[in-house]
Amino acid sequence: MALQGQLAIDRADPKVQALADTVLQTPARSDLHAAAWFAKADQSYRTVDDSTAIASAEQGLRLVQLPSRIASDLSVLRIRALVRSGDPARAVARLGDASVTALPDSERFGLAAVAYDRNGDVAQAILAYARWRAVVPERSAQAAYAMRRLVQLGRSVEAEDLSSRMRVLEPGWPRTCVQAIQGIAPERGAPEWVEDCHFGTRTAIGILLPRTGPLSALADPQLAATSVAVSLLSNEEGPAIAWEDAGSTATEARAAALALVARGATILVGPVGPENVRAVAAAVGSEVPIVVPGEAVDETIGAAPSLEQRVAALVARGRELGATRFVIVAPENGYGIRAAKAIQRALSRSEARAVMERRYDPATTSFADVLAPIESVLRPGTAVLLPDHISRVELVVRQIARSRPDSGTGEGGPLLMTTAEGLTEAALGSGHEALEGVWTAPVARPTRDSASFIEAFRVAHGETPSDQALLVFFALRRAVTGEPAPGAQALLVSGGQLATESNTPSRRP
């Protein structure tokens, strides 16, 4: 038969409709006509023409009696089309059909959940979604969808309405999930998805930092800071916290973000890396705010001032302290190029025309040759801007002191200023006295408000937090309280530490 041949090739091809009509126009047994109607209904369903699929399925059902294989197939196809985009009330009415109750639980519960959901029966939909989530594979699209709807519906359901329906749920994880939605924390040892039924109905922060892959080493201080910050910022009444490994690629970060939102996260902290942040923002940015433990990327919220804002703060402080000439000494890499351009933009036209610039390989450890051409201007009235990691900045500062013994950062030398990436208290303490008097605009600066975090981090890890660790605290604080992170400010290295907001001195070179 031509119809059977076409079905073997492509059941969604429009030719199926014409060939099925040919069968229906010839005398034949009712079961053959019913099979032709099923072919028409199936082709319509596959091309998302659900109204035609429903009508064709019902035409076929008029020709056959239950129970039979073709009647069951027609009945199942009809409810699938009713659930997807047909009449949800009619779909609910057909959930008790023998052909539907005979389906595997993974489909039967899913059809029931979506039917009740579309029909506006929130409580009944929650029960069905809980049953569906319990039987679908972990990390599957069905699991993510079921969890997302459980969370969304759980925030809107009336407690009394949900309690009145609970009696139909037998003991098990679906029942525990529904109880968790009502505020009863699940017992220890419950599956993660059951815990998320409780997590998702509260204000919930999803932490998205790399714990595996090449970026994980970079995130070590951030992960250490997160454990301390969470203990300070959350409590039993505070927001729920969930983790997902952001991995090292944009694809991994996107998948982790989708998983957190499906679990009920109402705000995300992380990931790291501009491309990863953009991937996450594209996937879930329209659903939840994203706070980045670094500079803002596109429409995300940053916990750090931009590099441009930081160098502008240094230039402004340099002017306040009487600098009339600006010198840029920067690494020959993307960071150095960006910083140098930002410094040029922060200068006035006349200042920019007179600026001197020296570049060096990022692997440089001896700066005598780098600084030799500008030794003559390393004197009072000059601000030397050093955008780089604090360890290399210290090498530059030491070389300036060696090349001009009468200079340094006192009355006989230039004003030294840096973005001080990687700044820690240890980098300024004993053995690093050369940095005394250097002005910094760090990516994250300690404030009076962060004192409790700094002390808790010191107790937990035996050292003060790095700039990256502070950024995590500021990002989590923004997520929990809405309080913005501190902006860019030039601070002096004094007594082996950064001067605070209240005691930053103002002196001229």
Angle at the Cα of 420 from the Cα atoms of 419 and 424, rounded to 5 degrees: 145
Query: Does position 405 have pLDDT exceeding 60, yes or no?
Result: no
- The arrangement of secondary structure in 204-304, i.e. its CATH architecture, is 3-Layer(aba) Sandwich (3.40)
Domain 307-442: CATH superfamily is Response regulator (3.40.50.2300)
Q: If pLDDT is split at 50, 70 and 90, which confidence band does 134 have? A: very high
Q: Say yes or no: do domains 204-304 and 307-442 share a fold.
A: yes
What value does the mean pLDDT take over residues 382-404? 92
Q: One-letter amino acid identity for 14?
A: P
What value does the mean pLDDT take over residues 208-233? 76
What value does the mean pLDDT take over residues 411-429? 86
Q: If pLDDT is split at 50, 70 and 90, which confidence band does 408 have? A: very low
What value does the mean pLDDT take over residues 251-256? 93
Query: Does position 451 have pLDDT exceeding 50, yes or no?
Result: yes
Q: If pLDDT is split at 50, 70 and 90, which confidence band does 202 have? A: low
Angle at the Cα of 386 from the Cα atoms of 382 and 392, rounded to 5 degrees: 135
Q: If pLDDT is split at 50, 70 and 90, which confidence band does 235 have? A: low
* Contacts within 8 Å (CB) and 24+ apart, 88-95: 88/115, 88/118, 88/119, 88/120, 89/119, 91/115, 91/118, 91/119, 92/116, 92/119, 92/121
Query: Does position 218 have pLDDT exceeding 70, yes or no?
Result: no
SS (H, E, C) 387-425: CCEHHHHHHHHHHHHHHCCCCCCCCCCCEEEECCECCCC
pLDDT tens-digit readout, 53-109: 999 999 988 888 767 889 999 999 999 999 988 888 999 999 999 999 999 999 999
Three-class secondary structure of residue 7 per DSSP: helix
Query: Does position 428 have pLDDT exceeding 90, yes or no?
Result: no
Q: If pLDDT is split at 50, 70 and 90, which confidence band does 162 have? A: confident
* Residue bearing tokens 């039917």: 115
pTM beyond cutoff 0.75: no
Q: What is the pLDDT of residue 241?
A: 78
* HSE (side-chain half, CA atoms, 13 Å) at 74: 28
- Kindly report the number of other CB atoms within 10 A of residue 403's CB atom: 15
- Kindly report the number of other CB atoms within 10 A of residue 60's CB atom: 26
Query: Does position 375 have pLDDT exceeding 60, yes or no?
Result: yes
Q: 492 with 439: CB under 8 angstroms?
A: yes
Q: If pLDDT is split at 50, 70 and 90, which confidence band does 503 have? A: very low
Write down the domain spans for the chain.
Answer: 1-103, 129-201, 204-304, 307-442
| pLDDT, mean over the chain | 86
